[in-house]
Amino acid sequence: MAERRFPALEWELVAEAEQHLRSVANLVKCHGRAILSRFEITPPQFEALLVMLRHPNLTMGELCQRLDLASSTVTDLVDRMERNRLVERVRDPEDRRVIRLRLLPRAQELLDAVLEARRAYLADVLRRLDPVDRRVLLRSLQRLDAAMRGQEVQAPLGGRTVTGRGDWQATVAKERATAGCTPAGGGGELAMRLAIIGGTGVYDPEILENVREETVVTPYGRATVRIGTFRDQEVVFLARHGTGHTVPPHRINYRANIYALAALGVQRVIATAAVGSIRREFGAGHFVLVDQFLDFTKNRVSTFFEGGEEGVVHVDVTEPYCPQLRATLHAVGRELGIPVHNGGVYVCTEGPRFETAAEIRAFERLGGDVVGMTSVPEVVLAREAGLCYATVAMVTNYAAGLSGAPLTHEEVLEVMASNVVNLRRLILEAIPRLAAERSCPCAAKPAPLRVGREGQQP
């Protein structure tokens, strides 16, 4: 903490800017590399060629300076480029002691081809963005460029104010999703589209390979995730209560968690939750793919949109849990012979205490099927972020008053432990079955309310 030399607000802005810069830099790096590899040219060679194109007849010393590299490194680079017939060393006709670098025709052809491929890639990405996002992206890049050069930033173009992180994040996430690119350090060309939020009893992404930990700085705080691969697909794992179950339901930073997943390019979230059953048919060890919730939480912020710059949003939650994810999970569960029910009403209580017997009787009359403490606002924030979200609720016990005995957390953990294998099989078998494209309505993100327009009254 001693390193924090900025006041609190500034620090948040710095962290956010850093995060965005890093994700853009990763995108550029990832695709730049893919394009270059088609032309059998390395990134340093490409850089050097670009410099030589802009500044013909450079000396070796000048090239070192422009590339900001040691002379031995540049000598080595030029040697290799000479062998590849990209450049040649020629003596200066006026001063024979000076060696100058000249591009050969093959280098020119190569550069043209690479630049053309890069333009084609950008054109393709831009074509897939909707016009508003495209404008926002171009305008943001222009402003960023101007700001970093220390220039005055002009008023926004096109009559639309460039709003803050929401739009920017969406643009980056979209571009990433379109391109199927991995963030920092991934190196591969895997699509990172799915996240698992592990609830009670699910703390470890054991089944993933090459797991690395990443901390995402969000405007709401930090979120630590582990990223690994499963059957060639990159999967993000987030332990909702922390790895040692140290965070109670009412203290979970739901906004940081969902924001971090969206920022990592996640499109689908499968969450697990330990629940109590209100219905006799849903016994311990059964899985319920809940499709509705009743919200009895009291002190949780359940939106990313708190007015001001973010605007006001009333998100539609007619169908809060993704129908496509649920259908896949249900089909897989039945094939595996696991007791799984598609549909159920999740009653979310504030906790951390369990419910009274009277509350459970009331929930039953209201149509509740299972009771837990975490699905709200997690599912609501996922809706706001345009993510597909499904909860695999695992019944660990009958709710208060339905069984004779008092409820304990130990009992919950015990049942979880003995059924966690089924839970894991269910989720993992579902992953490869998920279609590459989403055909559900979840991706449609709510737009901030515009006051004064017809039909928009809350």
Return residues touching Zn ion (CB under 5 A): 322, 324, 388, 440, 442
Residue 163 or 292 with smaller CB distance to Zn ion: 292
Q: How far is the CB of 237 from Zn ion (least distance, A)?
A: 20
CB 120 within 8 Å of CB 38: no
Place of tokens 């540049």: 74
Report the nearest approach of Zn ion to the CB of residue 282 (Å): 24
Q: Cα–Cα–Cα angle for 72, 74, 76, nearest 5°? A: 70
Q: Provide the terminal-to-terminal Cα distance of the chain, rounded to the nearest Å.
A: 43
What's the min distance (Å) between Cβ of 324 and Zn ion?
5
Cβ 356 vs Cβ 236: under 8 Å: no
Please, which residue, 300 or 383, has the CB nearer to Zn ion? 383
Query: How do strand 287-289 and strand 388-398 relate by DSSP bridges?
Result: antiparallel
- DSSP type of residue 149: T
Residue 198: phi and psi, rounded to 5, are -85, 125
Give the shortest CB-379-to-Zn ion separation in angstroms. Answer: 12
Is 317 or 440 the residue whose CB approaches Zn ion more closely? 440
Rg (CA), the chain: 27
Give whichever of 413 and 440 is closer to Zn ion, judged by the CB atom.
440
Nearest CA to 132 out of 100, 103, 158 is that of 158
Write down the least CB distance from residue 388 to Zn ion, Å.
Answer: 3
What is the nearest approach in angstroms of Zn ion to the Cβ of residue 438?
6
Is the distance from CB of 361 to CB of 266 less than 8 angstroms? no
Pick the closer one to Zn ion by CB: 217 or 430.
430
- Which residue, 263 or 442, is less far from Zn ion as judged by CB? 442
Question: Position 118: which residue type?
Answer: R
Query: 289 by DSSP, 3-state: which?
Result: strand
164-166-171 Cα angle (round to 5)? 105
Smaller CB distance to Zn ion: residue 389 or 398?
Answer: 389
Residues 6+ positions from 358 with CB-CB distance below 8 Å: 401
CB of 323 to Zn ion, least distance (A): 7
**Phi, then psi, of 19 in degrees rounded to 5:** -60, -45
Rounded Cα distance between 47 and 64, Å, is 12
| Smallest gap from residue 247 Cβ to Zn ion (A) | 27
Closer to Zn ion at the Cβ: 282 or 293? 293
169 vs 328, beta carbon nearer Zn ion: 328
Nearest to residue 20, comparing CAs of 129, 192, 143, 111? 143
Q: Which two tokens stand for residue 292?
A: 């509705």
Minimal distance in Å, beta carbon 267 to Zn ion?
Answer: 8
Residue 213: C-alpha distances to residues 36, 298, 424 (Å)? 29, 32, 20
